[in-house]
Amino acid sequence: MRITTIGLDADDTLWHNETIFRLSQDRLREMLSGFASHEVTTAKLAEVEKRNLRLYGYGVKGFTLSMIETAMELTGGDPPGRLIADILAAGREMLSEPVEPLPGVDHALAELSEAGYRLILITKGDLLHQEQKLAASGLGDLFAAVEIVSEKDAQTYARVFDRYGTGAAEAVMAGNSLRSDILPALEAGGWGAYIPYPITWAHEVADAPEGHPRFTELAAISELPGWVRSLA
């Protein structure tokens, strides 16, 4: 089996992301603790995010707007003092958060790149913010192409692997989301390497396609080069 191209998810595959969202969510629950229990705030935020997903898409700016909307609803439309300003500040901090590759990422990507595979970053989220994170990560030079997309479905993977590689059948997609990275890449005819991150956004949860001939689950990204070589 010939593999020419490796697609890589960014958030929670190359660097932390969900942890930063969870920390902001914790801060929101504290800010609203005079109005609602932590559980109620969590549930309301999830409801607001889901309702807005079609309009806002993925990323920090939409999340910040959803945090503000949650605060307005849970305070009966009368948020105290600096609450809204604090949420705005939390959102800006998320956008300025330093980016550090997860353990083993530099080495695994360098190994794949040196072995001649074409690396493509394929990620959702705010266009500008993802570009800024890639630049801050120092990993940019390892990628032959960067595709920031609004939705990761089978057509997306087929199109990206056609344009930048030699088609999905000769491509591996590696990432931490079964729902966004693995299942649609398999559906497009590609290979999938699932590398779980300790926490997953509820919206991204799905069942693993156990026994699928082009699927594997890896404990860490350091195992990716070996698995890719084993396909040859």
Applying CB under 8 A, the residues found at the interface with a copy of itself are 52, 55-59, 61-62, 64-65, 68-69, 72, 77-79, 81-82, 84-85, 88, 91-92, 95-96, 126-129, 131, 148-150
77 versus 98: smaller Cβ distance to a copy of itself: 77
46 versus 145: smaller Cβ distance to a copy of itself: 145
Annotate the chain with three-state secondary structure.
Answer: CCCCEEEECCECCCECCHHHHHHHHHHHHHHCCCCCCHHHHHHHHHHHHHHHHHHHCCCHHHHHHHHHHHHHHHCCCCCCCCHHHHHHHHHHHHHHCCCCECCCHHHHHHHHHHCCCEEEEEECCCHHHHHHHHHHHCCHHHCCEEEECCCCCHHHHHHHHHHHCCCHHHEEEEECCHHHHHHHHHHCCCEEEECCCCCCCHHHCCCCCCCCCCEEECCCHHHHHHHHHHCC
CB of 208 to a copy of itself, least distance (A): 28
16 versus 129: smaller Cβ distance to a copy of itself: 129
CB of 30 to a copy of itself, least distance (A): 19
72 versus 218: smaller Cβ distance to a copy of itself: 72
92 versus 212: smaller Cβ distance to a copy of itself: 92
CB of 218 to a copy of itself, least distance (A): 29
Sign, CA torsion 143/149/151/155: negative
93 versus 106: smaller Cβ distance to a copy of itself: 93
CB of 24 to a copy of itself, least distance (A): 14
CB of 140 to a copy of itself, least distance (A): 14
Longest Cα pair distance anywhere in the chain, in angstroms? 62
Residues in Cβ contact with 77 at an 8 Å cutoff, skipping those fewer than 6 apart: none
CB of 90 to a copy of itself, least distance (A): 12
